[in-house]
Structure 1
Amino acid sequence: MTGALAPTKPLTVADRCDRCGAQAYIRAVLVGGGDLLFCAHHGRKYAEALRSNGADIHDETDRLNETATATAPDDER
């Protein structure tokens, strides 16, 4: 998390990417108000441009590794 904005609630499975509809793991809080949600792919694609325009980026992509580890069969851990 960056910036001095109040923290937002964690993203859930119901939060979807504004570009493709996949599960969102990145929230960009815009300077003028509002936010954009992105999957990991689109979040990486747009994060720098959004950040350079003052957006506060909340990145929860580390949860992808937790999910993959938790759901992998025992012989793949």
Structure 2
Amino acid sequence: MTTAFATPNDLRSDTSERCDRCSAEAKVLALLNTGGELVFCRHHAREHRAALEPLALIIEHGAD
């Protein structure tokens, strides 16, 4: 399965979304092929990217 990289349409633009690993503002949304989703700051998205790619249908990057 190929992971699709898309524009940040689904990532919420407000600051209420927080990284699932720390309290930083979420900038990356991963929609998982299991039906779930994860949100990460850019630092943790880069750290976990290799593990996320096989599990994610879409990975979206929000604007700064």
> TM-score band (shorter)?
0.7 to 0.9
TM-score, structure 1 normalization: 0.63
Root-mean-square deviation (Å) = 2.1
Which structure: greater helix fraction?
Answer: 1
Greater Cα shift, 10-19 or 31-40: 10-19
The correspondence for 1:15, drawn from 14, 17, 25, is: 17
Equivalent pairs, count: 58
Structure with bigger RCO (C-alpha 8 Å, 6+ apart): 2
Among 34, 37, 43, the alignment partner of 2:36 is 34
Higher-strand-fraction structure: 2
Distance in 2 separating the partners of 1:14 and 1:37: 11
Cα distance in 2 between the residues matched to 1:9 and 1:41: 17
Would you identify which runs of 4 or more consecutive aligned residues in structure 1 move more than 3 Å? none
Contact 1:24 1:39 in 2 (8 A): yes
Deviations 1:14-39 (A, max 9, x none): 11000001100000111011200100
Query: In structure 2, the residue corresponding to 1:15 is in which secondary structure?
Result: coil
